[in-house]
Amino acid sequence: MVGVLPFIPLHGREKEAKNIYTIITDGISKKSPLSLYIGGKPGTGKTATMRQIVQSLSKKKKIETLFISCTTCQTKVALYREISLKFMGKTFSSSVALKNIEKYFVEQKKFILLILDEIDFLTSKSQEMLYMVFDWPAAFPGKVGVVGIANTLDLTHRLLPKLKKGIEPTIVMFQPYTKDELIEILTQTLKKEFDNCDSKNIEFIARKIAAKNGDVRVALSIAKKTFLDLNEENDEDDLPVENENNSMFKTPLLQTPKPKVNALSAVMSTMKNIEASPLVRASIPYQPRIILAIMLRLSSKNKGATNIEVT
């Protein structure tokens, strides 16, 4: 196990980050088959942690990394294209692509680390693609490492039962965030953006999300939406109204205060709106959800529609 990581890991994910970094660096230094599967529910920090590690490893001269999102790369042709473009700067016809890629693996002096995010999108009836990529570390030991990331907890056991003994990927699981971890993350993040980050509201959100799924992205979305609404309400209360009876001097009059929105009620309302969103209910991958949410928000900006949040 490495002593001190060369980067600051995500809060609550220090153990997982150190474990993954150790597995990867040990595999590279020992030139042993490096195959890793990172599983866990959405919003548990899997991809963000791996991106930190990749960024750190990319600074090393003898390592080349490629981070592939399988949501946009679901076929062999697309996968071969991504790999060949990154490492060879060109593409090949489907009939010779794999041959040229594996030839590159053999001849390359640098260690190649492939990170396949949302790897469950590579599934098929025969699981041919999954078997192929997880076989590369054993076929090219000391040359190629593969890290698969997915929300599925048992992907390798359920979908890859025929993997040869000894080349099964090492599994690292990410557990949902706890209430205390969410409180710390929300507090540290929100205090940089808002002045009204009441600790009771943060604790309430953290407790609700921890009991539901521990998804830090949902917690941050709810908290930001809640505090943004409360800030906007406070700003509106401070706006003066023009005195129409004294148009010469335009004497400002304060608006009649509106009833204050209870903060906890605002939190519950935001949570209800987010959970009712079709984006949350639909099984749409996270990145497409971001694009769709932005489009919906832009189209409804002047219509007074409820804001759409991505989880």
The CATH number of domain 14-174, selected from 3.40.50.300, 3.40.50.150, 3.90.400.10, 2.40.50.220: 3.40.50.300
**pLDDT 10s digits, 288-305:** 555 555 555 555 555 544
pLDDT single digits (tens) 197-237? 788 889 999 999 999 999 999 999 889 888 887 777 655 55
Q: Give residue limits of the domains in the chain.
A: 14-174, 179-276
- Supply the pLDDT for residue 154: 79
Measured distance CA(252)–CA(154) in Å, rounded: 65
Which range is least confidently modeled, 9-18, 37-46, 144-153, 258-267?
A: 258-267
Query: Between the CA of residue 119 and those of 22, 62, 134, 168, 275, what are the distances in Å?
Result: 22, 26, 11, 15, 26
pLDDT of residue 300: 53
Mean pLDDT over each residue of the chain, to the nearest integer: 81
What are the tokens at 158?
């359920």
Judge whether residue 132 has pLDDT over 80: yes
**What is the Cα–Cα distance from 187 to 192, expressed in whole angstroms?**
9
**Cα 147 from Cα 31, distance rounded (Å):** 16
**CA distance linking residue 132 with residue 92, whole number of Å:** 18
Structure-model confidence comparison of residues 242 and 47, the more confident one: 47
Give 152-168 pLDDT, tens digit per residue.
Answer: 887 877 877 777 666 78
β-strand 240-242 against 252-254: which pairing, if any? antiparallel
Q: Please name the residues in contact with 309: beta carbons below 8 A apart, sequence gap of 6 or more.
A: 221, 222, 225, 273, 274, 277, 279, 280, 293
> What is the per-residue pLDDT for 311?
42
Which residue bears the tokens 């007074």?
A: 304
